Structures are given as C-alpha cells and as structure tokens.
Amino acid sequence: MPTQYTCPWCAGDHQSTASGSRDEPRSPATAATSSWSWNVFDWRQVCCLAGWREVKRSAEMNGLCCCTPCKPRYRRLVDSIYPRSITDGLISSNMQKLIFYAISHPEKLERIGEYLVLRMSRDLGRLRYVQVKIAVEAMDQLLQSCHSSPSLPQFSENHLKMVQKLLESNNPKMEQLATDSFVTFSNIEESSPSYHRQYDFFISKFSQMCHASYGEEPRKIRIAGLKGLRGVVWKSVTDDLHPNIWEKQHMDKIVPSILFNLQEADQIEEPTKSTMLFDGPFTDDPNREESPRTLSDRCLRELMGKASFGSLRAVMEPVLKHMDLHAHWKPPPIFAIHVFRAIIYSIQSQNSYFVIQELINHLDSMSSADAVIRIGIATVLSNIVSIAGTSIGPLLLSIFNSLLKHLRTSVDFERSEKCKDSEAEKMYQEALINAMGDFANALPDYQKVEMMMFTVGNIPNLGEKRVKQGDEFLQHVLVKTLLKVATKYRTAYLATVFTDSFLHTLIQLALVNDPQVRLGTQQIFHTLLDRHDNLSHLAHLPYVLDVSDVQLTVEKCSRADQMFMRKHIHDMTHMLYKAVILVVDDANMQQHMDAIQCTMSLLCIEVGFDETLIELFRLALALQSLALDPQQSFTADKRIALHNLVAKYMNLAAQLMANPSLCQHVQQVVACRAQRGPPGLNLLLDKEQDQVQIIGDSIEEVERVELGALTETNGMLFDRNDVADCLKAAGKDVTRLSQPFNVSASKSADQVETEEADGRSSPALPMAGIDDVSVDLSVDWTPPGSTRQSRRNTVFSVSTSNLKVNGTGLPLTVAALRQYANSPPDVVEEEKKERAHTEKVVTSLRSRAFEDQADESCARHEQGDLSRTVSRLLARNADSVRMANIGRPAKPKNIFEMNLPSAFAY
C-alpha cells in the first residue's frame, strides 16, 4: 500500500506562531529541514483542498491572487479572533492582541473597522450569524477600549455602517443586536468631534421598530426601538455639533413613537387589565425586564429633560397632534394627564409656564371643536396648572385672562342657537373654573388677590338696573369663578383683600336680581371673612342652648381690622338688610337666610369689637321691624324665617359676649314664642321639654298668638330698650342703638344724605380706650381717602351740612355744643400733628440758609411793637386754648407760676 502524502498546509506548518511568523518568509535552514520543497513543483499541493481554500480566501480578501503571508498584520489579527468551530465564541486571547495592537497603532484603527465591516457583511449575506455576532462583539470591545484614540471618529463611522447593515437585514435578532451595539456606542464620550455624522436613518429605523406589530416577538422589537431612540437622544444632545435632533422632521418621528408605546404596551401584554395604566409601582431592579410602557415613560422624561427652552415647541407640537389624532382628550383624559405631568416634572421649572401657554393656545385652536375635546383639554389644564403655578409669575394675568376669555366665549356660545349640547358646555365651564381655582391655589396670596380683582373687573353691567340675559348668566359664571379662587385664599387682614373697589363690587353683586349670584356672593364673603375655620359650624347654625358645644374659635380683633370696619361696617349692614328684602319665598329661601345669618355671625366673631357689635344689633332689630312691617309684601313663611334669623343671631351674639342678662332676655323671648307663638317660631321643638318652661310658668296648652299680633303680646319680640340696658350694663356705648336704621334706595347716587339720615355724620364716640383706637404701626396699610368729614384735623369740626354755625365755627344748638364738648380730643391725631410740625421745622433748619431764616423771622415778628403783638396773640388764642383744655387733665404748674405762702412774702 503506497505511503499517504501529507500536505504542509494541512499538517500545520503554515500556522502562525505566537510571534506571527506566518507573514515572514521561511529561512533556507527551515526550508531544508522541512519535508516541503519550494523549488520542486508537486501537483498534490494544488490538489490539496485545505490549501486551495486558504489561497482563495486570501485572494478574495486582498483583491489579489496572493498567498496568506502577504496579508497585513491587522488583518491577520482580526482573522485570528474567529474560532474554527461554530459553537465556540470569540477567542479572547487573540482579541486582547487585537486591542493592544489597535491602541499601539491608532492609525490602524480605521482600517481594522473597515475590515471588520467587510467580514461582517460577507457573513451576514451568507447567514453566518455566529460570525456576525463575533464581529459586533469585537467592534464593541474596540470601541470601548479605544474611546480616547484620535482615530475614534473614523472608527465610529465604520461602526455605524455595521449597525446600519444589521438594521437593514430586517431580521429581528439582528436588529436587537444592532440596537444593543448602538446603545453601547451612545454611552461613549468622544474627545474629538465628528463634523459629518448624521442619525437620520437611525431615527427612522428605530421609530419604525417602535411601531412593530408583526413577527413572533413584536414586544422585544419595540423595546429595542425605544432603546435605540434613547441612544440617539443621548448621543445627539451631548454633541454640540448635532442640534438637528430637535428639528420638526425628527420630533415628528420620535415623539409619536414614544407615546404610542406609552399607551399601547399594557394592552398587548395584559389585555384583561383595567385602563389605569400608570398605577403600577416603579422599580429599579436591574434584573427585571423592562416593559415598553416603563421604557417609553423614561424616554419621554429624558427627552423633555434634555430639551432647552428653544426646543420645547418642537416637542410640544407632536405631543398635541398625537393627542388629537388618537382622541386622548375625551374624558376622562387619564393618558393625557399622565403625559403632561411627566412633561411638567421633567423640564426645567422656569419653563413650566410654556407648557401651560401651549395648552391654552391649543385650546384656542380647538375653540370650534366638540365640547368633549375642550373639556378634556381643560381637565388636563386643571391637573397640571398647580404644578407649574410657581413659575408662571410674569404671565399670570395673561394666562388667567385667556382662561376667562374662554369662559366668556363658552357662555356666549351656550346662549346662542348654535349650541346643540348645553350640558356639555356647562361641564366645560366647570372644568375651566376648576382650572382657575387650581391655578390660584399654587400662587402666593398677593397674586390670588390680583386674580380676584381681575375677575371682578370682568363682571359686566353691575351698575345697570336691567341686565341682558347673557350678561346675567355671565355674572353667575364669574361669581362661581371668584368663589373658586376665594376658597384658595387665606385672609390675614381684611383691608388687604377688601379694597374699596372690590368691596363695592361685591356689595353690588349681593344685590343683583339673580338669586344664585346673590347666594354666591354671600359665600364669597363667608370664605374671605372666615380666618379660623368656623364656617363649617356657622353655615347652617341652628338655635343652640350652649354655644360652647359648637366649638367656635374666637380671637381678639386686630387694630387694622377695627379701622377697616369703622369705615365699612355701615355699607355691609345695609347690604345685608337689602339682601333680606330681595330674598324670594321659594324652595331656596332658607338657604339664602342661612347665608345672611352666617355673614352676620362671621362679622360678630372675626371683627367683634364694640362698634361692630352695636351695628349688628341695630341690623338685627331692624330686620325684626322689617318682618313686622305690614307694608312689605312678605309671605308668612318669609316673616317666620326672618324672625328665626334674628333670634338665632341674638342668641349667638349674647353668648359670645358672655352677657348673662342679654342671654336671659333672648331665652325668655325664644321660650315665649315656643309656648304661645306661631308653630313656625318654635325653635325649641326638638329640645328637651324642660327648656321650654318660662320662669314662674308651667307647660300647658295655651292659645297661640297669630303672626300679625306679635307686637300686641308682651315677651314675643326682642325689646330695643331691654337690649340697650343689657349692653349698657356691660359697659357698651348704646348711643347708636337708639338711632333708626334707615336705608336709602339709591345709596350710590346720594350717599351723603343717606349717612346723615342714618346718623353716621355725627362723630362716633369711642367704644374703647385710647389704646384700642390707636393705629397699629406694624401693619403696612393706609386707608384710602374718604369724602366723609372727620374730627382728625381740629378739636371741633363741622361734619354735617345741616348744622348752622356762627362766626367762631361752633354750632349754635345747645345739644350739638354739648355733644362736641363731651367728646374728648383725638390724642393720636394731635401727636401726629406735633410730629409733623417738628419734622417740618427740622427740615427747614437743615435745608435753608441761616440768613433766609433770620430774615423771615424778623419779618414775622416786626409787625408791631411788643405790647400790641402780645395782646393780639392773647386775644386770638384765649378761646381756643380754653376749649382745648376741656376734658383734659390739669397740667402741672410751672415753678414760676406757683404762689408762695404769705409768710414768705413781703
């Protein structure tokens, strides 16, 4: 049997050693010792299959018909990382040699990348996926190891070519492999910039993958697409030379892809789950596989976090367009609320107002859309406006004005014939009102006051007697808006919120024809007056035997509030009196009566100093007289409700003042009404029977007194004299209590005559000591100018036009003179005048030259001789000095005015 021939290529003599001797020619000694002879041709060498394949592969690689030893070193190193067996992976030892060679020879890095792409393309075309993965892995390791190489940009281009070829294969596994490689590339920070790199293909391809709904594993493809988009955003934002990522053509692909997975993921994964997509807990477990929903949410937040102010519009437009096309505005807009909350929380806080403005602008563009869509947009605004409220400062009134404009437009549209669904429009209006209320809740107090003033300024036609039906409905809507804003405000000082114009408008609103507007205005008073959370106890306060059971919080009234109430208490009591007259006897009558009683109770609790209490007692007695007036066309139910209102307020005020005699008088009247009055006046109907007993009487059936005969029966009404005696015994000044409570029908037209008829023109006597009427300098507030006369500037001043005066400026009547004489001077005002005079003198001494002051003094004093000047001064000041000393304590005598005893005089 002949000897078998062994080819040196198959025997392994040609294999490269550790020193890479394959590229080097053999030495003559080596050739001599080898069984192979280079000089002798042997046909068996050509016929060897292994040798032929090696020659062919080398020729294909180099484009030449050359043998393997002619290949460059970097190619031999690349070839060495591929294993002989398909089951084996990357040869790590040879990979380390390749990495060391690439780091040592950075100029070869680009060629290494080109060769890897060439081999990967050939293997991908021949479906050799194992070799493809080895090429990708080698490329990633080189990318990470050579991140500081100067040739990295050129190598990165080859890496992106490889990723692009893998993505073009339309093989799901290759696409995932390419995505992972691209994410690795996006995490590398390059030291040198790349001027010509573009990501247009990757944005389009990754966006396409995010919408995958075909194949065996669409979920994994979507996850890969989201990761790829995330990598594109990372790489583009960190590179200043690639700002084109924020262009409209790119955002129109990126943003809808993210939102599509944010809304659709759970429906594919868990079809039986409810529509609450965002209730699941958030976990950062690295071993837990991410879902498209969580990954898309993270991508959206990162995208918005990296967007600058100039790029926000490019992101917001695709978001709004996606919501329109996929009908995400329809109530309840859970998905839209989640998306915009994520946007608001992700962007910089100072740019939050831009999102609100974009939503309002979108609402403008959708003004002709269905009410359902506008309701959804308004609901989203209501949910996110509180988040952005702290950064809206400069555009506060602009945004609030836009909301008010939409509200007015909706009201006008609802009243027109074009409106087909009025209920939907009302829901839209409620959504806008809630948005404004939530908007106000995030603002500081001073801006809430501005918003209330701005809302009041938009209320139409308050001064007209006849109001159009559309304006009347708009008044109703704006009052609801004002109430919503007022509930978010916490009153500190009444003068801060109740400015003259604001209070005047509220008083006008409380007296309009629309009962709902009047009731809403009373509720606004309740919200702004209540500073100690007593409103819940006073809203529908019944007759209580012991007010301490109600658990009311009462504190002393501040001096600033006392000054405010001295100026405005008469306007508020007159408003309440007129509001009672306007109450209509219908199903809501008791609600209106309770609202008026609540306002009176809050005034008694919050600003319950002497003058306010006296005026409220005057109002209560005036309401009792109004209920008995036969000229008023009141029904019996309204008169009964009015009597009960007075009784419940008198009971509350008497117990809060801790006046036993007044409490006893109130309880006697209530008990007498319960025993002998009409059944509607029995406030003790549900109380214990022993509380109905009157002192000295026993419970027995007696004849009931008719409603019209209450004045003829003793003990059925609150007596003005008894109330005055009780208050006087407690140290209160009851002078005002005896004056009639007259209200002019045209108060704004002739205010002075109304005040004179009511007795307000006379100087109000002090209800407390000097300390109570002094100004609290810690409050930075100055009351606006008033047209009413005052005693501030002089000791005696004429405050009414109907008092005749003589030449000295004093009234002629004895009663008026006695009243002025008994009134002590205002010490605070005199101190102010003295300080002002001192400041004037000091300023003159500091600013004027001494010669000018000396000349002025000489000219002032050289008008006559000394005797004539002294006599003139004595004649002019004698009366004023005498009158000024009335009511003052005697001044201590000067030592030079004291008379010595006669024993020491000679």
Where exactly are the structural domains of the chain? 490-759
Give residue 726's identity as a one-letter amino acid code: C
- Cβ-proximal residues to 45 (8 Å cutoff; 6+ apart), any chain: 7, 9, 51
Q: Report the alpha-carbon distance of residue 356 to residue 354 in Å, rounded.
A: 5
Query: E strand or H helix at 172, and its extent?
Result: helix 172-186
Give me 323's structure tokens: 């919501």
Q: Report the alpha-carbon distance of residue 302 to residue 323 in Å, rounded.
A: 20
pLDDT higher than threshold 90 for residue 872: no
Question: Are 137 and 167 in contact, with CB atoms under 8 Å apart?
Answer: no
Give residue 606's identity as a one-letter amino acid code: E
pLDDT higher than threshold 80 for residue 361: yes
pLDDT tens sequence across 270-292: 443 434 444 444 444 544 557 88
pLDDT on residue 886: 52
pLDDT on residue 733: 86
Query: How far from the centroid of its chain's Cα atoms is residue 232's Cα?
Result: 35
pLDDT on residue 254: 93
Could you count the other beta carbons within 10 Å of the beta carbon of residue 71? 17
Give me 393's structure tokens: 């400062």
Question: Are 378 and 429 in contact, with CB atoms under 8 Å apart?
Answer: no
pLDDT tens sequence across 121-160: 999 989 889 999 999 999 989 988 887 788 888 888 888 9
Q: Report the alpha-carbon distance of residue 166 to residue 116 in Å, rounded.
A: 13
Q: How confident is the model at residue 893 (pLDDT cuts 50, 70, 90)?
A: low
Q: Report the alpha-carbon distance of residue 620 to residue 771 in Å, rounded.
A: 29
Could you count the other beta carbons within 10 Å of the beta carbon of residue 372? 15
Q: Report the alpha-carbon distance of residue 542 to residue 302 in Å, rounded.
A: 58
Residue 719 dihedral angles phi and psi, to the nearest 5°: -85, 130
Question: Are 535 and 577 in contact, with CB atoms under 8 Å apart?
Answer: no
Residue 689: how many CA atoms within 13 Å on its side-chain side? 3
Q: How confident is the model at residue 255 (pLDDT cuts 50, 70, 90)?
A: very high
Which of residues 481 and 244 earns the better pLDDT score? 481
pLDDT tens sequence across 660-714: 999 999 999 999 988 888 888 888 875 444 444 444 444 445 577 777 778 877 8
pLDDT higher than threshold 50 for residue 862: yes
pLDDT on residue 568: 92
Q: How far is CA 492 from CA 27, 375, 487, 606, 773, in A?
A: 103, 35, 14, 11, 20
Q: Report the alpha-carbon distance of residue 110 to residue 194 in Å, rounded.
A: 14
Question: Are 372 and 424 in contact, with CB atoms under 8 Å apart?
Answer: yes
Residue in this structure with the two tokens 């990295």, named with its chain if needed:
152
pLDDT on residue 13: 42
HEC-encoded secondary structure of 68-105: HHHCCHHHHHHHHCCCCCCCCCCCHHHHHHHHHHHHHC
382: nearest Cα among 335, 437, 447, 451 = 437
Residues in the chain: 906
Q: Report the alpha-carbon distance of residue 449 to residue 517 in Å, rounded.
A: 20
Q: Report the alpha-carbon distance of residue 74 to residue 98 in Å, rounded.
A: 7
pLDDT on residue 212: 85
Q: Report the alpha-carbon distance of residue 754 to residue 757 in Å, rounded.
A: 5
Q: How confident is the model at residue 382 (pLDDT cuts 50, 70, 90)?
A: confident
Residue 330 dihedral angles phi and psi, to the nearest 5°: -65, 135
pLDDT on residue 193: 65
Q: Report the alpha-carbon distance of residue 457 to residue 468 in Å, rounded.
A: 18
pLDDT on residue 190: 73
pLDDT tens sequence across 475-490: 888 888 888 888 888 8
Ranking 11-20, 186-195, 730-739 by mean pLDDT, the lowest is 11-20
pLDDT on residue 575: 94
Percent of the chain with pLDDT over 70: 69
Task: Look over the chain and give the mean of its residue pLDDT values, rounded to a whole number.
Answer: 76
pLDDT on residue 835: 82
Query: How far from the centroid of its chain's Cα atoms is residue 391's Cα?
Result: 9
